[in-house]
Amino acid sequence: MIVGVPRESFPGERRVSLVPAVIPNLAKAGLEVVVETGAGIEAGYPDADFAAKGAKILPQRAEVFRAADILVQVLCYGSNDRTGEADVPLFKRDQVLVGFLRPLGSAETIQTIAGKGVTSFSVELMPRTTRAQSMDALSSMATISGYKAVLIAADALPRFFSMLTTAAGTITPARVLILGCGVAGLQAIATARRLGAVVSAYDLRPAVKEQVHSLGARFVELPIEAKDAQDARGYATAQGEDFYRRQRELLGKVIAESDVVITAAVIPGKKSPVLVTKEMVAGMAPGSVLVDLAAERGGNCELTRAGEKIVEHGVTLIGWFNLASTVPYHASQMYARNLTAFLLHLVKDGKLQLDTKDEIIRDTLLTYGGQVVNARLREFFSLPALAIKEGA
């Protein structure tokens, strides 16, 4: 089988879906790799490095799509809402597509992919289990986002992060608050601590308290309790507006005392909850910084503008997203390792294995045979139940 690596077309995207180092492992499994010219240049992987590991370089995007049995991308049509549609005419029936597809974003997009007869797998839906850990691309990219958010905040803050003892006196450390302690939030805690800040963190899931403490941060406890705080996959669940209103009231003082706030509270498939109101921003000290990692999904801060850096009430609000793309070398390396583990799980003896009894395959498979087959998606978009043919 041939694995195709097209150049990423989303504006500003610098990652590449596979890196040269993983090609020998794929070759051992009987997979050949073709790469579009320049696909890895912006991530630091020139064509010569791919060729040296056995990949074939193809000059035209259409050639890659035509040759590939399996297409691997970072931002596929679905997550790429700018230029992704241009790839749709290039799809072949029974071709396999693997990457970020934003499955809970648009039913029409997924149905378009299904209509082309493509068998697609969404890495966002990878189960968070021990077996699937090496394939969890979402966590890999969230790790980078949490790390980079702190560096962005440190660059924008008109203060040192760490405590310094100097001839001019002692400089007190910055106070950093992390809201949302998933993968990105935990990495933000670790990075801020390494930079010497005093770090506090809050999450509606009490289960993360121990993890926060293990990273050397203080866990902010509020006298309110979330109902069914997390789902079976370990993600935080959406709460009612009464809960969020009370949460905002209690968080106001903690936010006002912080020099940096990093928000990372995201609910899969839903608009991000507002944790920081405009009044809370107004209560922060001039020069403070807020980095909103949920900006793409509406933002955790009421004043966030997606993709922009603005100043309101003397506070710098940063709503940049796709932060993993700003660390393209290692982001590509991590993503390629995740995809390679998934491809080796998916292909046995040179053939695609669609065993839907396997949780990893069942949960990530979106489209097959011209239909949207993922049960979670069909329920989410209120699609009618599939009619299963005998023997299928």
Q: Which among 66, 128, 246, 378 is annotated as catalytic?
A: 128
- The DSSP 8-state label assigned to residue 389 in this structure reads P
Distance between CA 95 and CA 93 in Å, rounded? 5
Q: Which residue of the set 60, 94, 131, 133 is catalytic? A: 133
- Catalytic residue among 111, 134, 139, 162, which? 139
Distance CA 327, CA 313 (A): 31
CB atoms within 10 A of CB 101: 29
Handedness of CA 125, 131, 71, 119 (dihedral sign): negative
CA distance 185 to 176: 12
Coarse DSSP helix, strand, coil percentages of the chain, rounded to the nearest 5 percent: 40, 20, 45
In our burial notation (b when 16+ CB lie closer than 10 A, e otherwise), range 262-285 reads: bbbbbbbbeebbbbbbeebbebbe
Give the active site residue among 14, 102, 120, 136.
136
Nearest CA to 200 out of 173, 223, 224, 226 is that of: 173
Residue 386 carries which DSSP code? Answer: P
Does the annotation count 136 as an active-site position?
A: yes
Closest CA to 181 of 196, 201, 200: 201
Residue 147 designated active-site: no
128 is catalytic: yes
Catalytic residue among 9, 235, 244, 378: 235
Which amino acids are annotated catalytic? Answer: 128, 133, 136, 139, 235
